Amino acid sequence: FEFLGKDPQRVQLNYFVAARGGNEKMVGNGTDLSSGFNTYAFEWLPGSMRWFINGKLVHSKTGAGLPSVPGQFFFSLWAGASSLDGWLGKFDPAAGPVSAEIDWAAYTRPDERCLFPESITCP
């Protein structure tokens, strides 16, 4: 999930195969995602990937071209540069400090189910 300042109602999904991205997809749930905490989740299984926002499936990908080696997830806040204005949106430093808050992160193995109430594995 990549949060681009130009559109707080959408996030960019991406995944990497052999250290290459290029699999971007912009998705949203019709609300301002910057107005409060949200739950973001993805499910990565052999032959499929699915992305969720607040428990709702927002995108899925199946078939060839998906990652097949162990991966990682990380959090970052893009500072941006004028060369990235078209992607991120124009950054205005006079608008005040920019921050990202992560309340918690969790990992669930494919063989585990419902370890915490917000998990997409819970019924």
- The residues that are catalytic are 2
Q: Provide φ and ψ at 28, rounded to 5°.
A: -160, 180
Instruction: Give the start-end residues of each E strand in the chain.
Output: 10-13, 25-28, 40-45, 48-53, 56-62
Distance from C-alpha of 1 to C-alpha of 53, rounded to nearest angstrom: 10
Are residues 4 and 88 in contact, defined by beta-carbon separation less than 8 angstroms? Answer: yes
Where are the alpha helices (H) located in the chain, listed in sequence order?
85-88
Q: What is the C-alpha separation between 23 and 82, in angstroms, rounded?
A: 23
